[in-house]
Amino acid sequence: MAKIRPFKAVRPTRDKVSLVASRSYQTYTQAEREARLDYNPFSFLHIVNPGYKYAREITGTERYQLVRNRYLEFKEDSIFVHDKTPSYYIYKIVDRDHQVFNGIVAAASAEDYEKDIIRKHEDTIEYRERIFKDYLKTVGFNAEPVLLTYPDNNVISTIIKDIQNTRAEFEFTTTYRDTHYLWKLEEPELLNIIEKEFDSMPTVYIADGHHRSASSYLLYKEEKAANPNHTGHESYNQFMSFLIPESELRIHEFNRLVKDLNGLTKEEFLIQLDTIYRIENRGIMPYKPSKKHHFSMYLDGEFYSLYLRKSLYNFKTALDALDAQILYYTILDPILGISDLRNDVRIDYINGKKDIINVKDRIDSGEFAVGFGMVPVDINEMKQMADDGLKMPPKSTFIEPKLRSGVTIYEF
């Protein structure tokens, strides 16, 4: 049963939360990062980019210690305060497209991760797990929750709606025009009800944050082994998560871009595709597929539709039927020679929330030779993969919502 527990968060003060909250460090361009660091002394970016203070790039364990130093300074300056009672944090996001996400920031169990009560659908890279585990151990906190999803639950939804009728603890709008709200839920009776509802769920699923959860699990194993007085109640037994119902999860695809045709001419490439796909030239009009096993392709100034031939619909596993996997084993690997999707520099990805014209523009610029698009994975496909112990290829899903770093912090 899923152990989802309240915890005592470290949070910015109400007057500074909009200044503190930041996107993930990697999502900023260099110019954006520098502007925020130059003109916003409260940005969480100052914590995760501590070298800014010394006008130099700092990496490795030296950076980890400086991150901790900056974090402690934010606490000493009362930019951050530590809640005194365990709470669930009701969180709501209304994005610029008016999509609404409602969920709960809470502590999930590392033991549940180990027992596959928290289920995974995506492969992780071992060295990245170890690096982030070492980072967590040194800095002593996690500021970006793992996104978990659970079956829609009327009891939890009713409590969330009732709490949202009260004044929010936080309310702020980002420069991306997403509005964020947070309510602190600490009434013992309601905490107990929510806890029991999650306890009744046999599984919950990782939607986004596989490396963060894997690293937190590694930290749990290491700390548990080193602690002769381990009780199971230590803070390292849990990791911060944002849990939303399955119906509110938004899953987008990732489009693939490839730099060259692996030595083939355009005509040779199309002839090889013809064995596997029904091909139709759609001309200059943008085309996006609308069905599973249908793909779009942009090549040499024109869009194409690719329909997997039905004679090849002999799928034995959920992975075999996954469009990202089909694209890999029919085109990317055998024809274009891309066997390592994680590390091959000839391939890049654009999330499907962006317009298909982004794919066209990058190919027309000469940076890439061909691009492919597909329909998004649905929640049932994702769960089936996790239930069967299968792993999707990298960049199979772009999942929303995306929380801001630094709004709630979990200390180890």
Structure tokens given for 73: 């300074």
Percent of the chain clearing pLDDT 90 (strictly above) = 89
The larger pLDDT score, comparing residue 61 to residue 74, is at 74
pLDDT band at 67 (very low <50, low <70, confident <90, very high): very high
pTM: 0.92
pLDDT of residue 59: 86
pLDDT of residue 122: 87
What's the mean pLDDT in 393-399? 90
pLDDT of residue 5: 98
Over residues 186-226, the pLDDT tens digits come to 999 999 999 999 999 999 999 999 999 999 999 999 999 99
Over residues 82-120, the pLDDT tens digits come to 999 999 999 999 999 899 999 999 999 999 999 999 999
- Rounded Cα distance, 254 and 273, in Å: 21
pLDDT of residue 355: 82
pLDDT of residue 354: 83
Task: Report the relative pairing of strands 146-150 and 238-245 from DSSP bridges.
Answer: parallel
Strand partners of residue 101: 93
CB 287 within 8 A of CB 303: yes
- Residue 107's CB is within 10 A of a number of other CB atoms, namely 22
- Rounded Cα distance, 150 and 202, in Å: 10
The CATH label, of 3.30.70, 3.30.1760, 1.20.1250, 2.30.30, for the domain at 254-375 is 3.30.1760
CB 398 within 8 A of CB 351: yes
Strand partners of residue 146: 241
- Rounded Cα distance, 344 and 53, in Å: 35
Over residues 270-316, the pLDDT tens digits come to 999 999 999 999 999 999 999 999 999 999 999 999 999 999 999 99
Give the DSSP letter of residue 70: H
pLDDT of residue 159: 98
Per-domain residue ranges of the chain: 4-250+401-411, 254-375
Over residues 132-180, the pLDDT tens digits come to 999 999 999 999 999 999 999 999 999 999 999 999 999 999 988 999 9
CA distances from 14 to 19, 175, 235, 241 (A): 10, 18, 25, 21
- Rounded Cα distance, 225 and 209, in Å: 25
**Which of 323-327, 352-356, 368-372 is least confident?**
352-356
Residues near 387 by beta carbon (within 8 Å), at least 6 away in sequence? 119, 203
- Rounded Cα distance, 85 and 343, in Å: 45
